[in-house]
Amino acid sequence: MAAFLWALLAVAAGACIAIQAPINALLGRGLGMPVAAACISFVAGAIVLAFLVLVVTAFEGRAPAWRTPDGWLYVVGGVLGTVYVTTAIYLTPRIGAAAVMAFAVSGQLLAGLLLDRIGFLGMAVRELSLGRVAGAVLLVAGALMIRVF
């Protein structure tokens, strides 16, 4: 049952990403500068997350170990997120939300397969299987069908 709930949470998160793209694209159009919309998206998210950190800190009675992670870890995740959000803002009005999401999920899956295969940053190594490769091929084919047909 827990696995099913985790899967539902992942689907809901994916839906949020799909809904976020046209909202941010509309904001970018209204501002006349898509990169400004990406900035606002991140500032709004940072404010909400800062509030959540305070709530969780108070609830758990402990603070994050701010000094423990390497410095680069504080930057790279946000930079990668910036690439995704800004690209989605630029592409959504041009190729549509479904195509952006299909290609983004295809990129996520292909990168995920590679990261699993090499055990990126200490992750468990997961071998490529026929099923995993076939699933990736079908997903990429589906993304192309959404855009081309």
pLDDT score of 148 more than 90: no
Q: Would the pLDDT of 3 be above 90?
A: no
Nearest to 41 by CA among 52, 25, 53: 25
137 vs 85: CA distance, rounded Å: 25
Interval 74-79 mean pLDDT? 95
The rounded distance, in Å, linking the Cα atoms of 88 and 128 is 29
pLDDT of 149 above 80: no
What is the average pLDDT value for the chain, to the nearest integer?
94
Name the token pair of 2: 């827990």
Mean pLDDT of the 81-105 span: 93
* Sign of the CA dihedral with 71 first, then 76, 81, and 86 last: positive
Could you report the per-residue pLDDT of 128-147, keeping only the tens digit for each?
Answer: 999 999 999 999 999 899 88
pLDDT in tens, 41-70: 999 999 999 999 999 999 999 999 999 999
What was the pLDDT predicted at 1? 82
- Amino acid (1-letter code) at residue 5: L
Say what the pTM is: 0.83
